[in-house]
Chains A and B, each alone.
Chain A
Amino acid sequence: GENVEQHPSTLSVQEGDSAVIKCTYSDSASNYFPWYKQELGKRPQLIIDIRSNVGEKKDQRIAVTLNKTAKHFSLHITETQPEDSAVYFCAASIGGSGGGADGLTFGKGTHLIIQP
C-alpha cells in the first residue's frame, strides 16, 4: 500500500519567516494530496489540496507544490504568524471523483512552532 514520509517532525521558525514541510509518497498511482492543520485538542482542518494534474497551488500565504516524477510534495507558509502554530499533516490518496481506493494515507505530522 501507500506510504507517506513527512519531514521535519518539528519545525521552529521566527514570526514573519517562511516555513516549508516536505512529504514523499511511494505509490505513483496516488493522485490527490491534501494538507491538514490540527491545533491541540481540535479536529484536523483541510487547509489546501492539490491534484496530480497540477504542479502548484496557492491560497494567500499558503502554497503547495507537487513533483510527480520525484513523488514528493511540499507545503509552503510565508509570513508566518503565531496562529500558524499547530501540527500539519500531509496525505495522499488514489481515486477519481467517483470513489477512492484506499482512503487517505497520512504522514506522521510536523509540529510547527512560531517563535515571537
Chain B
Amino acid sequence: KAGVTQTPRYLIKTRGQQVTLSCSPISGHRSVSWYQQTPGQGLQFLFEYFSETQRNKGNFPGRFSGRQFSNSRSEMNVSTLELGDSALYLCASSRQGGNTEAFFGQGTRLTVV
C-alpha cells in the first residue's frame, strides 16, 4: 500500500508570492491534516479536511488555506508569503481523523527569501 505522498519536496519562493502544496493520502483514508514544523514552534496544526470539507482549523492567519478533492487528495495554499513561513509542511492522512491513527508524508520544505 502506498504511503502519504507530498509534492513538491522542496520549494524556494520570494516574499509576497503564493505557493500551493499537494498531498495524496493513503488509499481509503478520508481525513487529511496539515501541520507546520519549525525548530522554534515545533509541530503546529493548520487544518483538517474530511470528505472535501474543512472540519477543524488551527491558529494560523487567513493566508493559509486548503481544499480537498473528491479523491481525498488535498492542497494547501499560502498567499502573500512572509519570511516566517519558511518551514517544513507536513500532511497526515487517517481513515476518519479524530482518534484514528495518522500517518505523515515526507513533507515539503518551503524556503521564503
Contacts and interface: CB of A to CB of B under 8 A. Distances in A.
A31 B98 CA distance: 9
Nearest to B101: A46
A92 B34 CA distance: 16
B106 interface: yes
Interface stretch (A10-18, A55-63, A65-73, A101-109): A101-109
A106 B99 contact: no
A93 B58 CA distance: 13
Contact of A95 (B35, B98, B101): B98
A68 B45 CA distance: 23
A106 B42 contact: yes
Contact of B45 (A36, A51, A99, A103): A103
B58 A43 contact: no
B56 A101 contact: yes
Given A102-B58, A103-B33, A103-B56, A97 B99 contact: yes
Interface residues of B, number: 29
A104 B58 CA distance: 10
Interface string B43-57: 111011010000110
Interface in B24-52: 31, 33, 35, 42-45, 47-48, 50
Nearest to A4: B42
B100 interface: yes
A42 B56 contact: no
Contacts of A45: 104
Contacts of B50: 99
Nearest to A32: B99
A116 interface: no
Nearest to B44: A106
A49 B101 contact: yes
